[in-house]
Amino acid sequence: MDCLVIYVPTDAAPAVRQAIGEAGAGRLGNYSHCSFSLDGTGRFTPLSVHPYETPAFMTYPVDASRPD
């Protein structure tokens, strides 16, 4: 299982959550479309190619095993 972290403008978040849920992400046990949202302020200094043109996401492995 992996954790997917995506940075999008707040007004785009509902559509992105729906799209990745429909693609099969966000499944946990008997639930689908699982997500967590947090508002924040991003900071960056644009270089010759504006960094917001590159999708901002990360993935992390998650240990979903149950304790003994």
Q: Is residue 20 part of a domain?
A: yes
Q: Is residue 57 part of a domain?
A: yes
pLDDT in tens, 37-52: 999 887 877 777 765 6
Cα 50–54–60 angle (5° rounding)? 135
Q: Is residue 26 part of a domain?
A: yes
Q: Is residue 47 part of a domain?
A: no
Q: Is residue 31 part of a domain?
A: yes
How high is the pLDDT of residue 46? 76
How high is the pLDDT of residue 66? 78
**Containing structural domain, residue 29:** 2-36+52-61
Q: Is residue 10 part of a domain?
A: yes
Would you give per-residue pLDDT tens digits along the chain (68 residues)? Answer: 888 999 888 899 999 999 999 999 999 889 999 999 999 887 877 777 765 667 778 899 988 787 87
Instruction: Please tell me the total count of domains within the chain.
Output: 1
Q: Is residue 21 part of a domain?
A: yes
Which residue do the tokens 């991003």 mark?
42
